[in-house]
């Protein structure tokens, strides 16, 4: 077994990775010059410039981000806390948000809260300790301490999927968009409309949507039966359970339902069909988010497209501007859109 070759460039301690000083010595310049070359912050004579580049290359120099962050007082990272990192809508938001930030050299650090207001506080604090330069949150209802902390640290923050009167937001009016879906069903002639939503605790969006539906019904002098207003945890299984529960209540079944996600809608469709109900003949179904599979179900699912990717991109734009000290608009509305497919139709004439 041969002695390990210590290559000449590793002078003293082969265990340590190279730092600015090593590059400086090797290139025969000062650390200031190294920094100037590597960051392009000031003119450096061509020969020294080249020497630095060469030395950095040879040593495999990688700048220490913590040291840089400390001295620049900028971390070049932004955080995001979403309720559920496995939910399609949030993934799309994060994905486009990240793309936008990455273009500007920012890193995204994402965390999830499990729809719990205390967890949002905990995760956001964790991110703030990390030194993030900006923060994205979902919704407008948060722990009061969180807003105080964000203000104290002067961290630019933007909220998505909501429109708030207080803070910067990118999103839409959840009540209005769900209301429009309800109105569409009412226009088709439905009168018994139900809703299956995800958990509404600490979730202003879910709550607003249900309220918007109630309001649309009320505007036509109708009201939703309490038995037709069910709340479940997300997922296909949840959708099945939700619809089963609605039928089991003994109340006259709805002729149309609006679901919190396309997964829930899919679950409800499965349950309905297993009971011999025809969709859309006996039951019209509307989902949320326009998931990949929505157009491929049979019948294809009518759904509310919330434009997650556009929202994420806009949130990125917003934060990038704020962090650069540029002026920004507080509210950006990217309205949700009802995509009508085959899962909705006028109610079948009563037998």
Partner DNA sequence: GCCTTTCTTGAAAGCGATTACAAAAGACAG
Partner DNA sequence: CTGTCTTTTGTAATCGCTTTCAAGAAAGGC
Please state, in angstroms and rounded to a whole number, the distance separating the CA atoms of residues 255 and 253.
7
- Cβ atoms of 248 and 221 within 8 Å: the answer is no
What's the rounded Cα separation, in Å, for the pair 206 and 166?
Answer: 19
- Asked if residues 209 and 260 have their Cβ atoms less than 8 Å apart, the reply is yes
- Of all helices (H) and strands (E), which one includes residue 184? helix 174-188
* Contact partner, 29, from its own copies, DNA, none, Cβ < 5-8 Å per class: DNA
- The least distance separating DNA from the CB of residue 335, rounded to whole angstroms, comes to 41
By rule CB under 7 A, what string of x and - marks binding of each residue 42-81 to DNA? xxxx--x------------x-xx--xx-xxxx--------
CB of 144 to DNA, least distance (A): 23
Tokens 């310049």 -> residue:
29
Q: Assess 31 for contact with DNA (CB under 7 A).
A: yes
86 binds its own copies (CB under 8 A): yes
- With tokens 């990038």, the residue in question is 320
Stretch that binds DNA, among 20-28, 77-85, 113-121, 263-271 (CB under 7 A): 20-28
Q: Give the one residue of 49, 104, 126, 200 binding its own copies; rule: CB under 8 A.
A: 126
Residue 254 CA neighbour count, 13 Å, CB half = 31
Nearest residue (CB) to its own copies, 296 versus 326: 296
Report the partner that residue 191 touches, choosing among DNA, its own copies, none (CB closer than 5 to 8 A by kind): none
Sign of CA dihedral 140, 142, 144, 145: negative
Cα of 84 vs its chain's centroid, Å: 9
Whichever of 111 and 188 has its CB closer to its own copies, that residue is 111
Enumerate binding residues for its own copies (CB under 8 A). Answer: 15, 17, 60, 62-67, 69-70, 75, 77, 85-86, 91-92, 94-95, 98, 102, 107-112, 125-131, 148-149, 152-154, 235-236, 263, 266-267, 270, 292-293, 296
């Amino acid at each position: 077994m041969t002695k390990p070759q210590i290559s000449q460039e590793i002078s003293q301690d082969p265990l340590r990775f190279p730092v600015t000083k090593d590059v400086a010595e090797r290139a025969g310049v000062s650390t200031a010059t190294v920094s100037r070359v590597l960051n392009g912050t000031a003119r450096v004579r061509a020969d020294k410039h080249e020497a630095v580049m060469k030395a950095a290359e040879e040593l495999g120099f990688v700048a220490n981000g913590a040291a840089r962050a400390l001295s620049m007082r900028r971390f070049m990272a932004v955080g995001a806390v979403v309720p559920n990192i496995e939910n399609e809508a949030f993934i799309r938001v994060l994905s486009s948000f990240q793309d936008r930030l990455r273009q500007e050299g920012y890193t995204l650090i994402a965390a999830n809260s499990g729809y719990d207001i205390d967890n949002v506080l905990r995760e956001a604090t964790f991110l703030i300790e990390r030194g993030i330069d900006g923060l994205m949150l979902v919704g407008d209802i948060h722990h009061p301490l969180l807003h105080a902390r964000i203000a104290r640290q002067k961290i630019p923050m933007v909220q998505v999927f909501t429109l708030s009167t207080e803070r910067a937001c990118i999103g839409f009016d959840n009540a209005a968009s769900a209301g429009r879906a309800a109105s569409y069903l009412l226009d088709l002639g439905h009168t018994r409309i139900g809703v299956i939503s995800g958990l509404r605790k600490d979730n202003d969006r879910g709550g607003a949507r249900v309220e918007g539906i109630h309001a649309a019904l009320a505007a036509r002098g109708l009201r939703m039966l309490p038995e037709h207003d069910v709340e479940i945890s997300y997922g296909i299984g949840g959708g099945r359970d939700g619809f089963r529960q609605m039928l089991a209540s003994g109340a006259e079944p709805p002729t149309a339902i609006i679901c919190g996600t396309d997964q829930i809608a899919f679950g409800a469709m499965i349950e309905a069909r297993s009971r011999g109900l025809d969709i859309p003949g006996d039951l019209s179904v509307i989902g949320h988010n326009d998931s990949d599979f929505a157009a491929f179900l049979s019948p294809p699912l009518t759904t509310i497209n919330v434009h997650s990717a556009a929202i994420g991109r806009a949130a990125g734009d917003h934060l990038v501007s704020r962090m650069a000290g540029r002026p920004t608009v507080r509210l950006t509305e990217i309205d949700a859109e009802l995509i009508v497919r085959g899962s909705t139709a006028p109610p079948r004439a009563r037998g």
